[in-house]
Structure 1
Amino acid sequence: MSRRSLLRGTAGLGAATLLAGCGVPPAYVDESRRAARDLSARDRTLEFANWPLYIDTDDEDTAKRPTLNAFRERTGISVRYTEEINDNDEFFGKIGPSLMNGQEPGRDLVVVSDWMAARFVRLGWVQEMDREGQPNVDRHIDPQLHSPAFDPGRLHTVPWQSGITGIAYNRRKLGRELRSTKELWADDLRGKVTLLSGLDESFSLLMQGNGVDVTKWTEDDFHTMCDQVEKLVRAKHVRRFTGNDYIKDLSSGDVLACQAYSGDVIQLQADNPDIEFVVPEEGAELWAESLMIPNRAQHKANAEKLIDYYYEPEVAAELAAWVNYVCPVPAAQNVLADSGDEDLVALAEDPLIFPDTAMRSRLAIPRDIGADERVAFSKRWNAIVGL
């Protein structure tokens, strides 16, 4: 089971809207109120909250995490690592009350999807990092992920892992190749296609299939896409909307093509070589899930050291070899290629972990859904998903 194979939220109205509906609107926190006294120098610890199955583990003892153990041995900093994030909105609601009230959140480092990271940045709930103490980040971060619209220059966020939302299909059962999002709507795929249920996970690829530049999509682009999908749902062309359970449908042959995440497909291919992943001709979404240091974190300097450690190419390569998502440190490719290990060399050559130039030319990071758009857009999308 991959990390993204766990139950994900549909991003519905979002925890921010739910909190506002309860009379507790999320409060912007000014820069002057974000920092707490940093205990890093005297307290060599760190609280790190991440998603399940999203870090390397020892083959014989899954409770051991080799890269974290090596960090402790090198720096003397012990990391208390918890796998408590299972859903972006759920975690927002969990940590939000502390952050909006200026309280210590109990975590020094967290990982959320970039569309949720954008919300944290807009609310002023995360601290700017000291890049002078993070030379590896500046030197090795993937240029394509360097400066998203929600966080220019990545001052508040750093990608943990990245990935691609594209199309997966069973080439043998379909009997032909798929190269375009538009080909999902072919007559012989009626009732054999699934789409992702989460708005933030699904909209970009569908807009790109319509030729939209998703870095600057508009409200009209959104509603055009929704009109198209609604028509396909009513015509029974779309079998259903899924979380990560599309993996089961694709493996069983109940569906022949679907929206999918690159990392899932890498793992599916180990058991079923007929499953292929394609970045459509019209383009696909390049996403990231990013590290952030929340306001009032008590071990900011320790957290910054850990982030920079994971941007050493050797460390990034070790992590990439385990999680199999797009590595945000391109220099890690040479580490794997020069390892002399046949399996690691194969990973270095896999464009779903290290996209080549041709693939990168078709990848885009969409602008996120703004706070003023989210409620209306979520209602429209969820009504379609519920048909």
Structure 2
Amino acid sequence: MRRHHPGRLLMEALSRRRFMTGAAAVGVSFAALPKGVLAAEEPKLNFYNWDTYIGETTLADFKEATGIEVSMSLFADNAELFARFKEGNPGFDVIVPTNDYAERMIKAGILEELDHSKIPNMKNLAPAFQDAAFDPGRKHTMPYMWGTMGLGYRKSKVDGVPGSWKAVLESDKYKGRIALLSEGRTMLGMAAKYLGYSLNTGKAEEIKAAEELLIKQKPNIKVFAQDNGQDLLLSGEVDITVEWNGDILQVMAEDDDLSYVVPQEGSLLWQDTLCIPKGAPHPDNAHKFINYILDAKAGAAIADFIQYATPNAAARKLLGPDYNNNPAIFPTDETIARCEPQTYQGEAVQRLYEEAWTRVQAA
């Protein structure tokens, strides 16, 4: 999610329509059809996405352009996404895992290989995003958005800029006014980074130290928020929250008393991806949808609305300086240098984090 050039660092370290007859029928899958029968996909697509993470009119525009109607369901975090697909596809065509979980899903055999011939708009991606270490050759993923995780805060309630993770991880100064994320792997990683370790540590004793830090801090935490810390901040229920940069930027547009900072210890640099899970009921429609998202105009509309950094170079050319020069969207090289991507390190290490998080929740 990556250093000096965020997309390149990600590479090194490491997110609905009618079936067209005639020529468009070439390439349709016959796997589920009776012998001798050619069936067109119904004009539907099931999309599993994060909350507040699509353009205001994107799904309607896609239906108008293609005739395909999109049904969108929401998940709160990557752990929930992975759990739903671990035993099979419950009926979705396109999903949006973050880079480390995308790699985990690839290794678990959950994701289909993409047909790049059906995604010509891949050419719009910036060169640094054309490949990824977590998915060599982009065989299973297309980049959707990238960004940072940091602290959203209410300026009138917080003393200055909260420049350290200490404000939420080791202090009672904002007791009862703090929201952390409910995503255990990420919060344990942030606690480890605050303690001076890598957020990707695989050492049991360092993960244990992060666990103990969070347990000690629990009396000061109001809630472990399920991807809605920005709403709690906007409503005044909390004064400081751990959140994704774009989510905070969205509410900053509604309340100028809100702001965002990446703490001095560094943070998580992430990349969300567009993927087709195995067993997708509408795989052709899924390719069309991904290709539509990577269109310059469609991509620009999404990025401008959700206020996340797009990897789409053609889309960026359509957006103005308020977007392209905003350091909360596109962090400076100095900020990027303090951050690192979260990586998948195998199921044994994953279990260490999951067991530690279970103890944090139970404490």
Does 1:69 find its partner at 2:69?
no
What are the Cα deviations for residues 257-311 of structure 1, in whole angstroms up to 9, with x where unaligned? 2211212211221232121111122212123332212224465455334323322
1:350-365 correspondence runs (5 A): 350-365=326-341
The question of whether the paired residues in 2 share the 8 Å contact of 1:165 and 1:262 is answered with: yes
1:119: which partner in 2? 104
After TM superposition, give the deviation of residue 36 of structure 1 in Å.
Answer: 6.0
Alignment equivalent of 1:136, drawn from 121, 137, 158: 121
What are the Cα deviations for residues 38-61 of structure 1, in whole angstroms up to 9, with x where unaligned? 999955846241335433234xxx
Alignment equivalent of 2:48, drawn from 33, 47, 50: 50
1:57 & 1:183 partners in 2: Cα distance? 34
2:93: which partner in 1? 108
Alignment equivalent of 1:278, drawn from 241, 258, 261: 261
Aligned AA (1:286): L
**TM superposition score normalised by structure 2:** 0.75
The question of whether the paired residues in 1 share the 8 Å contact of 2:188 and 2:353 is answered with: no
Alignment equivalent of 2:270, drawn from 273, 287, 290: 287
After TM superposition, give the deviation of residue 156 of structure 1 in Å.
Answer: 0.8
Cα distance, 1:383–1:296 mapped onto 2, change above 3 Å = closer
1:256 & 1:191 partners in 2: Cα distance? 9
Does 1:262 find its partner at 2:245?
yes
1:107 & 1:385 partners in 2: Cα distance? 30
What are the Cα deviations for residues 340-364 of structure 1, in whole angstroms up to 9, with x where unaligned? xxxxx52333333333434333332
Q: Secondary structure at the match of 2:97?
A: strand
Q: Is there any run of 5+ residues in structure 2 with no aligned partner, and where?
A: 1-28
1:92 & 1:203 partners in 2: Cα distance? 18
1:171 & 1:274 partners in 2: Cα distance? 5
1:29: which partner in 2? none
CA RMSD of aligned residues (A): 3.4
**TM superposition score normalised by structure 1:** 0.71
2:94 & 2:329 partners in 1: Cα distance? 24
1:329: which partner in 2? 312
The question of whether the paired residues in 2 share the 8 Å contact of 1:46 and 1:108 is answered with: no
1:307: which partner in 2? 290
Does 1:152 find its partner at 2:136?
yes
Q: Secondary structure at the match of 1:335?
A: coil
The question of whether the paired residues in 1 share the 8 Å contact of 2:247 and 2:306 is answered with: no
The question of whether the paired residues in 1 share the 8 Å contact of 2:129 and 2:311 is answered with: no
The question of whether the paired residues in 2 share the 8 Å contact of 1:55 and 1:65 is answered with: no
After TM superposition, give the deviation of residue 136 of structure 1 in Å.
Answer: 3.5
Does 1:164 find its partner at 2:148?
yes
Cα distance, 1:146–1:199 mapped onto 2, change above 3 Å = farther
Aligned AA (1:203): L
135-144 or 278-287, larger mean C-alpha shift: 135-144
Does 1:83 find its partner at 2:72?
yes
After TM superposition, give the deviation of residue 313 of structure 1 in Å.
Answer: 2.8
2:21: which partner in 1? none
Does 1:37 find its partner at 2:31?
yes
Q: Is there any run of 5+ residues in structure 1 with no aligned partner, and where?
A: 1-34, 73-77, 100-104, 338-344
Does 1:243 find its partner at 2:226?
yes
Cα distance, 1:194–1:98 mapped onto 2, change above 3 Å = closer
Q: Secondary structure at the match of 1:172?
A: coil
327-336 or 139-148, larger mean C-alpha shift: 139-148
Would you say how many aligned residue pairs link Structure 1 and Structure 2?
328
1:245 & 1:134 partners in 2: Cα distance? 32
